[in-house]
Structure 1
């Protein structure tokens, strides 16, 4: 009898040990694999954009926190998107929300790294800007590849320029009634071109959060960099970087 009980106890103990080992194996096998972080990521961005400079500073800090260096390459707006969507760089520095609907190889990191205000400049006109419909009656200049103005002016009388400088040149020559662009880019271009006293019309067309995009091959990185950007947002770091960059841009010594 004692031998039988001892034998049953041995079987029960063996079953318990096997079960524990099996459960332990399941925990190990179900754990998410560690993400291998690249040493360097290269992002495309819109050339001659003040929002590019601000967004770059934010993302340099965010990626530094996870031990990754980044390099930003500046291109014409449309070309920048084609390069990032086709995987010739690792992602897009920033764009407005929703571009992934058209550029389906890009994955959004849904924390704003910056924001833009769309404003209007005019030479002969003066009115309160209250959204896109308020400029519908006019000849409108927009910059090629800048998605927020392309989307906002669908069906309107637009002329596309290749740079902000070209937009202001066309406006000054009377070939356009108004031009639409980001507020910071307008301020910088007016200064660079020596158009003293030229101010945007009161009000704004739209205000857009700007978010970072990674190419789909880096999709596993999205939650990680999102976490860092959320922390920076809570800490006020993103706001501080933007304020510092804007102050530097508006400084009399800025060039």
Structure 2
């Protein structure tokens, strides 16, 4: 009888320990998500869920698979997506507070090349982007050639070796990649080709959690936690890159060696 009681207590304890653990998919690279899951988004998600009384377990998953896994309920959440995905993925519910307030998508070139103000200026150029970044893939008819890479590091390796003329990427990701690869002079073309807010999505079986997480994220912005996380991670991942951080929104500056 004692053994049965002990077993029941163990099962109840185990259930309590794991009932509040949520699997969150990320497709981001440094500085937003790192190998040890201590990037900006990794730490932000962990703190959001912690403040809501839960635990977030972050895992790196390819872009398309991540969306399908969350839609099917195989994973609980996906981070860093544009608004409106619930119209495509019927089991999605948005955490209606942007986790990235301004993600700027820009063109990168090596110093002394060309001026780029929009997609029209890419005509006749060899262009590259990370595979699955639809925002750039939809414009591919405007490029002379289009190369899709596995990740941001691979993309900037092609630019460094001058196998492409232009690398299309998000500003902060690209600058950190350039710094890490020792690219001495990188040009970020302004204005951005696009600027968007990025959100967390949950599988709709967790619909009651969405407004709670949104409120916790707003709290983190107000009390300075989000700003602190940006500063902490950037000092570690790219100490030579010193962006201005205004209200939790990164305003990038060109990296110069």
Which TM-score applies when normalising by structure 1? 0.73
- Kept in 2, the 8 Å contact 1:43–1:91? The answer is yes
Structure 1 residue runs of 4+, over 6 Å off?
none
Higher strand fraction (1 or 2): 2
Farther-moved stretch of structure 1 (119-128 vs 74-83)? 119-128
Take 1:222 and 1:236, find their aligned partners in 2: how far apart are those partners?
21
Deviations 1:42-74 (A, max 9, x none): 111015242332122222111111210101001
Q: How does 1:92-111 map to 2 (within 5 A)?
A: 92-111=78-97
Given candidates 142, 145, 165, the residue that maps to 2:153 is 165
1:118 aligns with 2:99: no
CA RMSD across the alignment: 2.7
**Alpha carbons of 1:196 and 1:213: their partners in 2 closer, same or farther (altered >3 Å)?**
same
**Alpha carbons of 1:191 and 1:92: their partners in 2 closer, same or farther (altered >3 Å)?**
same
Which TM-score applies when normalising by structure 2? 0.72
Q: How many residues align?
A: 216
1:224 is paired with a residue of what secondary structure? Answer: helix
1:185 is paired with a residue of what secondary structure? Answer: helix
Shift in Å, 1:149: 3.2
Shift in Å, 1:117: 1.8
- Kept in 2, the 8 Å contact 1:95–1:212? The answer is yes
**Alpha carbons of 1:78 and 1:208: their partners in 2 closer, same or farther (altered >3 Å)?**
same
**Match in the other structure for 1:78:** 64
Deviations 1:31-50 (A, max 9, x none): xxxxxx94100111015242
Given candidates 204, 208, 211, the residue that maps to 1:223 is 211
Take 1:49 and 1:79, find their aligned partners in 2: how far apart are those partners?
20
The structure having more radius of gyration, on CA atoms, is 1
Deviations 1:117-159 (A, max 9, x none): 22221237644443444435533211112344345x3643332
- Kept in 1, the 8 Å contact 2:117–2:189? The answer is no
Consecutive unaligned residues in structure 2, runs of 5 or more: 1-17, 34-38, 241-257
